[in-house]
Amino acid sequence: MTGSATSKRFLQIAPALAIIGFFMLAPLGLMAYVSILEKGLNGGVVWDLHTSEAYVNFIFERDLDDSLILNTDYLQIFARSFGLSLLTAALALAIGFPTALYMSMQPEGRRNLLIFLVTIPFWTNLLVRNYAWILLLRNGGLVENLLHWLGIAADQPLGLLYTPYAVSIGLTYSYLPFMVLPIYASLEKLDSRLIEAAFDLGADRRRALLRVILPLAAPGIAAGCVLVFVPALGAYVTPELLGGGKSMMIGNLIQSQFGAARNWPFGAALAFALLTIVLLAMMVYLIRFRRAPAGGH
């Protein structure tokens, strides 16, 4: 490509670059800067005092005599967030894959209706959705009554609400469309004649699923898992409401540092730790699926 063509191209995308730079990179840079500043006494930061204290705080506690003691509180919160996000992604996959498979096998007209139905959670406010789950999961709520009625659980209050599982259920509900839609997209692209070919060569339904459908839907499944796992990791409304503050996740920790704890540098450092983890997850996804074969031809 000639030099002038390159610069012309650059000019064409310049507005987009400016917007990305101003609205994304600048705040990020600001956050990075905040994370290496001294915290102000009443929140905020002391703008000219540089320190790595926020990053040290993550793993160590400073004793009275200034020596560092290992503190795993924050690591535990990270570990719990990871665990809950993985559980959420697994639940969403377990529900989302059969849903997407079912949708992709429907006649063309009905598929669009089903896609619309799947996206309905998006149309409701996040708070409303979470309060709805509070009503469903609380003692004496619908879920408990159902379990009692089915005889699955003993006839006593179950305490479903304000547990990590309640958080995971709420997150699964919120992010399910992010799992269903990419899997549906990869299944819809899949040439149905490949499935017929598998049947033709003696594969029953289970083996056609394992040997042909699943491998060809793998890019969609991976995309769905990333799309559910990443926002779940940073979730903060759902753990607050359904976890009752007992199952704090990274998002709640960051929020509390900018709020009650008045430790902006630490909050910024945590946000960066989260961002790093997310970027690593994305990299794994890209390396694994960059050259993945598309379905069909």
Partner 1 sequence: MGDRVGTPAIEARSLSKVFGAGADAVRALDDVSLTIRQNEFFTLLGPSGCGKTTLLRLIGGFEQPSQGDVFLEGQQLTGLPPFKRPINTVFQSYALFPHLTVGQNIAFGLEMLGRPKEKRTARVEQMLALVKLQGYANRKPAQLSGGQQQRVALARALASQPKVLLLDEPLSALDLKLRKEMQIELKRLQTETGITFVFVTHDQEEALTMSDRIAVMDSGKILQIGSPTEIYEHPQRRFVADFIGETNFLEGRITEANGAAVAQLACGHNLTLNGPGQKGSGGGQRVTLAVRPERAEIVPPQGEGLPATVGAVVYMGTDTTYHLTLADGTPFTVRSQNHEGARLDLASGAAVKIRIAPAAIQRLAD
How near is the Cβ of 204 to partner 1 at its closest, in Å? 5
Minimum CB distance to partner 1 smaller for 207 or for 288: 207
Which of 290, 136, 150, 164 shows the shortest CA–CA distance to 223?
290
> Does the protein bind partner 1 through residue 290 (CB under 8 A)?
no
How near is the Cβ of 90 to partner 1 at its closest, in Å? 24
DSSP for 2-15 reads -HHHHHHHHHHHHH
Helix (H, G, I), strand (E, B) or coil at 45: strand
* Number of chain positions touching partner 1 (CB under 8 A): 22
Alpha carbon distance 100, 115 (integer Å): 9
Alpha carbon distance 124, 77 (integer Å): 29
> Does the protein bind partner 1 through residue 293 (CB under 8 A)?
yes
Instruction: Choose, by CB under 8 A, the member of 182, 239, 265, 295 that binds partner 1.
Output: 295
What is the 8-class DSSP label of residue 41?
A: B
Alpha carbon distance 254, 198 (integer Å): 50
How near is the Cβ of 45 to partner 1 at its closest, in Å? 52
Contact string 189-228 vs partner 1 (x = CB under 8 A): --x-xx-xxxxxxxxx--x---xx--xx------------
Helix (H, G, I), strand (E, B) or coil at 260: coil
Q: Report the site for partner 1 in 108-167 (rule: CB under 8 A).
A: none
Q: Are strands 37-39 and 68-70 parallel, antiparallel or unpaired?
A: unpaired
Minimum CB distance to partner 1 smaller for 103 or for 208: 208
How near is the Cβ of 202 to partner 1 at its closest, in Å? 4
Which residues of the shown chain bind partner 1 in the complex (CB under 8 A)? 191, 193-194, 196-204, 207, 211-212, 215-216, 293-297
